[in-house]
Copies of this chain bind each other. A is one copy, B any other.
Amino acid sequence: MTPFAQWMKTVQADMEHALAAYLPSVTETPARLHEAMHYATLDGGKRVRPLLVFAAGELFGAAPQALARAAAAVEMIHAYSLVHDDMPCMDDDALRRGKPTVHVKYDEATALLVGDALQAQAFLVLSEGEGDAGRQLAMVRLLARASGSVGMCGGQAIDLASVGIALSQPELEQMHRLKTGALLRAAVMLGAWCGKALADDETAALDRYAAAIGLAFQVVDDILDATADSAALGKTAGKDAADNKPTYVSILGLDASQVLAEKLRGDAHRAVEQFGNQAQRLRELADLIVQRKA
């Protein structure tokens, strides 16, 4: 196992413990809601956002405890968005991470409440713990902006409105910058803010990095949706084409999409050049995002 693979495995295992600890216990009332929140959050996913939090945090000397808290908060926002996205009135998906989606396993009303409660829990987790209150408050603002109507939720609204519409590549990019990019950027920034205060050029470098991997993430998602099978993805493949949604593959074609993903990987590497060897994990994560098979 490479050092990077070993590091990933460690962060992923630590996150599983942190998430379980930061969620309300399944023995607490209402037990069924708490059980469903655990079901939606634990035992699944590559934990890309937590990995970004840790990679950016280590670059700025952040304490592991603070990183685990920030990573758990971002991952809860991500988990809630998947639960709501999968509901019948949105993407109507029955399979997620190889398991039945929350509304299938439980029911729609529970899925709605699981998402709502996970969002509140994310802000609770981020506002608890020890640390500089001003910095923590800034992190709450960052996460709220990244997940709200000018971030993730806004991107989903644009996505909904674009079904069956021929988007241009810039319009598609704007949608994904909000839908997926905003939270990935928040993960990078939250990780960095757990460490020292950033200089303006450091913030700008991380912004360029986050923009490149955010877009790369979506381009690769579209490639996989068009080429992989459901078993490998752990979710229903070919959905976007079936739903008549604009994708990079539908706009650029498969070959040009692969070229774009590779270009964005290079952009991400160059963005963090100034940090030298210390940014090794961030570079490896860019590689992971572009080269993943699921």
Asked if B148 and A121 make an inter-chain contact with CB atoms under 8 angstroms apart, the answer reads yes
| Bound CA span A24–B34, Å | 32
Q: At the interface, yes or no: A197 with Cβ under 8 Å from chain B?
A: no
A87 adjacent to chain B (CB < 8 Å) = yes
Shortest distance from the beta carbon of A254 to any chain B beta carbon, whole Å: 29
**Cβ–Cβ contact B158 & A110, under 8 A:** no
B137 touching A120, Cβ below 8 Å: no
Residue of B nearest to A121 (CB): B148
- A149 near B120 with CB under 8 A, answer yes
For chain A, the count of residues having a C-beta within 8 Å of the partner chain is: 53
* Contact residues, A61-90 vs B (CB, 8 A): 80-81, 84, 87, 89-90
Given contacts A24-B150, A149-B33, contact A119 B117 (CB under 8 A): no
CA distance A144 to B143 in the complex (A): 14
Instruction: Say yes or no: B89 contacts A109, CB within 8 Å.
Output: yes
List 10 A-B residue pairs with CB atoms under 8 Å apart, sorted by A's residue number: A29-B154, A80-B116, A89-B111, A116-B119, A119-B119, A120-B147, A120-B148, A124-B148, A127-B141, A133-B136
Q: Which 10 pairs across A and B sit closest by C-beta, in order of nearness?
A: A120-B148, A89-B108, A124-B144, A33-B157, A117-B149, A133-B133, A117-B153, A133-B134, A127-B140, A30-B157
